[in-house]
Structure 1
Amino acid sequence: MIYDATTRIAEAALCLRARLGGSRALRERLVCTGAPGPAAIWLHAASVGELTSARVVIKALAARHPLTVTTNSETGRALAQDWGLPARLAPLDLPGALARFLDAARPALAITVEGEFWPLRSRLLAERGIRQAMIGARMSERSAGTWARFPRIIGPMLGRVAALSAQDQGSEARLLNLGLPHRALLPRLDLKLLAPAAQPVPPDSAARDRVILAASTHEGEDGPVLDAFAALRDARPDLRLILAPRHPDRGDAIAALIAARGLSFARRSVGADDAPPGGVLLADTLGEMARWYARAGICIIGGSLQDHGGHTPWEPAAHGCALIHGPHVGNFVEAFDALDGHGAARPAGDLAATLSRLTDTPDEARAMGRAARAVLVDRAGDPAALIARLDDLARAPGGPDIGII
C-alpha cells in the first residue's frame, strides 16, 4: 500500500515535470510519447552488458516471436536497435507508465535478464495474465540479506515467476530461500559464456604452435613477458610474440621496452598484421583481440602478473588457447580453479621455463587448449531447454490473475 501510494505521487510529479520541458528520456520512460508496438515478448535488460550476455537467447526468441527490448540506458537501447530489434527505454515502475506500455505492447511473456525486481511491474504483469521469466538470474549474499527483511515484497514477486534460470548455484539457492517456487527452476546457465562457447575453434596448426599472445597486459607486465620471450627466442628463432596491451595508449612506452631488448617488432597501429620471425607484433589497437586469440596457440592472461585481478580466461579458451596466468586472478578465482584443475591452464611460475616447455611440446599445448574449450562449453551450458521453455510460455494462452500471489 505504501509503495503503491508513493509511486502514484511520484508519477504525478514526474508527469508535471515532463510537461514543463523534461528530457526526452523522461518522457519515453513515462510512455508519454511513442508507445511500443505489439510484441509477444517483452525482454528487459539493464544495459549493454546484460544485453550482450543474453544475445544468443534473444536472437533465438526474436526468430520465433515479435519481441521488443527495453533497457535502463540509452546505450543499451542503441545496441538493441543496432541488432535490428524494436527497443526503447524501460517504463518506470509507476502505474500509469506501466499501464500505457502494457496496453500498447500486449506481451504474452515478460523476460528479465539477470536481476531486477520491481514490485508494481510484477503485480501488473500478473493481473494481466502476462507470464514472467528471468534468465541469468543472480542474487548476491548482500542483496539476499536485504530482501530477506522484506518477505512480503520479494516473496510474491518470486512466486509469480513461471521460469527462472540462475547464473550460478549460490544465486539459485538464495532465490529459493526467498520464495522462488522449485517448479519454476530451469537448468543454470552462465549467459556470459554462451557467445564464447558458440565461437568456432581455429584449427590446430604449426603456425599457431609458434605464436604466443600476451593479452590485455598492464604496466609492469610487458617487461617480464618480453624478457621471457627474448630468452626463449635464442633457442627458438621461429617463435613470434603478439603483445596486446589493455590500454593501447601505452604503445610508445611498450615499443621502447621492446627496442631496449633488441627485439625486432612491428606495430598494428601503423598497419602491420604480423610479427617478424623471432620478433613482436605490438597490437596497440582496440577491438581486435579475437583476431589475436585465433593466431596464438598459447595465451598469457594479462592483469594476472601484476595485481589487477586478472582478465577473462573464457575468450582465449573459446579459441582453444593453452592458458598461462600469474598469481593475481581474484576477478575469476572460480574460473581459474576449474581451468587449472582440468589441465587447461597453469600458473606462470618461471615464465620463460613454462613457455619453453609448451613451445617445445606443441601436443601438450594443444591438449591444454582443447581442455580449456571443454571447460568453457560445460560451464556455459546448453540454452536449448531454456529457449524451448520460453518459447512455450510465449505461445501459451494467458489471462487475468495468472500467478497472482
Structure 2
Amino acid sequence: MSLPFLVRTYRTATAILEPAVVGLLYWRQRKGREDRTRLGERQGYPSRARPKGHLVWVHGASIGETLSLLPVVERLTQRGVAVLVTSGTKTSASLIARRLPPGAVHQFVPVDVPRYIRRFLDHWQPDLALVAESEIWPNTVMALDQRHIPLVLVNGRMSDRSFQRWQKLPRIIGSLLERFALCLAQTQEDAERLARLGAPRVLVSGNLKFDSAPPPADPRVVAHLSGLVAGRPLWLAASTHPGEEESVVAVHRALAQHHPHLLTIIAPRHPHRGPEVAAMAERAGLRAGRRSQGMHPDRATDVYVADTVGEMGLFYRLANIVLMGGTLVPIGGHNPIEPAKLGAAILHGPHVHSAAEIYAAIDEARGALMVKDSAALARAVSRLLSNPALTRDMARAAADAVHVLGGAVDRTMQSIEPFIVQAKLGARR
C-alpha cells in the first residue's frame, strides 16, 4: 500500500520541525519530565553499547505497559537473546532499571522524528521489534518496514474511542497496520477492531498484565512500617488524580470518629504532587506526613502521602483495602491486578474504561466493589473496616479472578516463536 498523503505530510513535517522538537525536549527537561543526563537518547543517541548477537527491541510507553512486558523480556533473555527495553517516561526508566534481568538494557525511546529513528536503528540493529498496547508511530513503523525488521504488536489494545477516531482515517491506519507482521490483542473485541482497521494478521493472546509478578518490597521495610501502624484501621487510595484526593480526605474526616486512629494512605499517580496532596489534607485539619521526606506514620498521622517511586509493593502489602485511582474522575481506571495479587479488597469508581475487562472480572467474582461518589466510598470503607471477614473474602475472590485470567505470556511467546527462530537464523522477513 502506498503512503497516504497525510502520512507523507507527517513524515515531512516531523523532519522539518526537528529544531522545535529539540526545544520541546529541553523545555520538558526544565519541567522535570525528561532526564537531563539522558536527553540524547530521546534524539536517538545511544548511551550503551549494543550487546553482541541477536537483539529484540521491546517498547512500552510508560510504567504500566513496560512492567507488563517484563515476563516476556525474562523469557527472551532465557532463550539467549539480548533485549533492548525502551520507554518514554522518567518514572518508568527508574523503575525498570531495577527490575530488568541480566541480558536486558534500558534506553529512552527516541521521539518519532525520521533522523532520530534512523540513528537509533543504525546503532541497535534489532532483529525483531515488539511494541505494547497501542504504540503506533508512523516514522518508526515505516523505518522498521524499510529495514525488513518484523514488527509485532503485543498486548494490543484498541479502545472504542480510538477505534471511532481511526475509522475517520481508514487509509492512514490501514497503511500502518498492514506493516505489522502480527498483532496480538488482549481481547476478542480488540482483535476485531484491529482487523476492521486493516491489520492483516491478528490473534487473541490475552492481557499480559494478568501474568505480571506483583511489585516487590523489601521485607525489612514492610515489617518496620507494619509495626508502626499495627492495630490501626487503615486503607489506601492508590494512583490518585486531582479531584480524587479531595474525596479521599473527605472520607477520612467522615470516618475518623467511628474508626479511632484511622490512617489513610494516599499514593498520587504522579509523585511530584506529594506536597500538593499533603497541603490539601492539612487544610482540612488533618495531620499529614510525606514518604519522600523520610517521614514515618506515627500515632498522630492522619494521612500518609506515599509520594515516592517504586514502592507500591510496600503499600499494597500494608493495606488490605485499596481504592484504585483514576476511577472517581474520568481517567479510565488504573490496573487493579497488583493489589489483587497482594491480598487487597478493591474499591473503584465508575470510570474504568481503560481496564474494563479486568474490573469486570474482579467485580463479577465479588472481589471488587464499585462506588459512585465519596458518600458511597465512605460507606464501603467503613463497612470493610468493620468486617474483616468480608474484606478477606473479597481479597481472596479478587486474587482468584486474576489468577484464572493468566496465561497471556505463554500464548505471546508461542506466537512470536517463529520470529525468534528467524532472528537466530538471520533470515529476516
Deviations 1:137-175 (CA, angstroms, capped at 9, x unpaired): 2332134314423476246314xx1x4322343321111
Is the 1:266–1:275 contact (alpha carbons within 8 Å) kept by the matching residues of 2?
Answer: no
Give the letter for the 1:67 counterpart. Answer: V
Q: In the TM superposition, what is the alpha-carbon distance from 1:189 to its structure 2 partner?
A: 1.8
SS in 2 for 1:286: coil
1:167-198 deviation per Cα after TM superposition (whole angstroms, max 9, x unaligned)? 3433211112233345x52512244x543657
The residue type paired with residue 399 of structure 1 is A
CA–CA separation in structure 1 for the residues paired with 2:329 and 2:139? 46
Partner residue of 2:408 out of 382, 385, 388: 382
Conserved in 2, the CA contact under 8 Å of 1:240 and 1:275?
no
Q: Within 5 Å, which residues of 2 pair with 1:63-74?
A: 63=78, 64-70=80-86
Describe the shift of the 1:151–1:336 C-alpha distance in structure 2 as closer, same or farther (beyond 3 A). closer
Q: How does 1:220-231 map to 2 (within 5 A)?
A: 220-231=247-258
Q: CA offset at residue 65 of structure 1?
A: 0.8
**What do the CA deviations read for 1:183-232 (whole angstroms, capped 9, x no partner)?**
x52512244x54365769999x9x98963314145124313333224224
Contact in 2 for aligned 1:242/1:275 (Cα 8 Å): no
The separation in 1 between residues aligned to 2:147 and 2:328, in whole angstroms, is: 54
CA contact (8 A) 1:144 1:174 kept: no
Matched, 1:399 2:418: no
Greater Cα shift, 165-174 or 343-352: 343-352
2:96 and 2:403 map into 1 onto residues whose CA distance is 26
Aligned partner of 1:188 among 200, 206, 210: 206
- 2:304 maps to 283
- Give the distance between the partners of 1:373 and 1:105, measured in 2 at CA: 40
Structure 1 residues 67-76 or 368-377, which shifts more? 67-76
SS at match of 1:367: helix
Q: TM-score, normalised by structure 1?
A: 0.70
User: Using the alignment, how far apart are the partners of 1:328 and 1:8 within structure 2?
Assistant: 36
TM-score between both structures, scaled by the size of structure 2? 0.66
CA contact (8 A) 1:35 1:101 kept: no
Instruction: For residue 343 of structure 1, report the CA deviation from its aligned partner.
Output: 1.0
Q: In the superposition, relative to structure 1, how do residues 312 and 241 fare at CA in structure 2: closer, same or farther (>3 Å)?
A: farther
* Alignment CA distance shift 1:222-1:334 (3 Å): farther
Letter in 2 for 1:43: W
- Contact 1:40-1:65 within 8 A present in 2 as well: yes
Provide the C-alpha distance between the structure 2 equivalents of 1:314 and 1:151, rounded to a whole number of angstroms: 31
1:345 pairs with 2:359: no
Which one of the candidate residues 180, 185, 192 is aligned to 1:166? 185
Deviation at 1:11, TM superposition (A): 9.6
Deviations 1:28-51 (A, max 9, x none): 847799985655234253643443
Q: How far did residue 133 of structure 1 move? A: 1.5
| SS at 2:171 equivalent | coil
Larger radius of gyration: 1
Higher RCO, 1 vs 2 (CA within 8 Å, ≥6 residues apart): 1
**Residues 14-29 of structure 1: matches in 2 within 5 Å?**
29=43
Tell me the C-alpha RMSD between the 2 structures.
Answer: 4.9
* Secondary structure, aligned partner of 2:57: strand
For the 8 Å contact 1:129–1:399, the answer to whether it is kept is: no
Q: What is the Cα deviation at residue 27 of structure 1?
A: 9.7
> Partner residue of 2:235?
213
Q: Partner of 1:54 in structure 2?
A: 69
- 2:32: which partner in 1? none
Partner of 2:105: 85
Q: CA deviation at 1:385?
A: 2.8
Query: Is 2:321–2:346's contact at 8 Å kept on the other side of the alignment?
Result: yes
Please state how far the C-alpha of 1:86 moved relative to its aligned partner: 5.3
Q: Secondary structure of the equivalent of 1:185? A: strand
User: Residue 43 of structure 1 contacts residue 113 of structure 1 at CA under 8 Å; is this kept in 2?
Assistant: no
Aligned position for 1:368: 394
Checking the alignment, whether the CA contact within 8 Å between 1:218 and 1:245 is kept in structure 2 is no
Query: Residues of 2 paired with 1:331 and 1:119: CA distance?
Result: 23
Distance 1:197 1:144, change over 3 A: farther
**2:55 alignment counterpart:** 41
Percent identical residues: 24
Q: Counterparts of 1:214 and 1:255 in 2: how far apart (Å)?
A: 18
SS at 1:68's partner residue?
strand
Q: Would you say how many aligned residue pairs link Structure 1 and Structure 2?
A: 379
Name which of 141, 158, 163 aligns with 1:141: 163
1:131 offset after TM fit, Å?
Answer: 2.8
C-alpha deviation, 1:312, in angstroms: 4.8
Is residue 190–residue 379 contact of structure 1 (8 Å, CA) maintained in 2?
A: no
Residues 271-325 of structure 1: CA deviation (Å, up to 9, x unaligned):
664553xx75521241244323212222344566678766553443232112234
Of residues 242, 265, 268, the one that matches 2:264 is 242
Instruction: Give 1:376's aligned amino acid.
Output: V
Asked if the contact 2:110/2:120 (under 8 Å) is kept, the reply is no
* Structure 1 residue identity aligned to 2:203: L
Q: Indicate the residue corresponding to 1:236 in structure 2.
A: none
Q: Matches of 1:8 and 1:255 in 2, distance apart?
A: 50
8 A Cα contact 1:218 1:303, kept in partner:
no
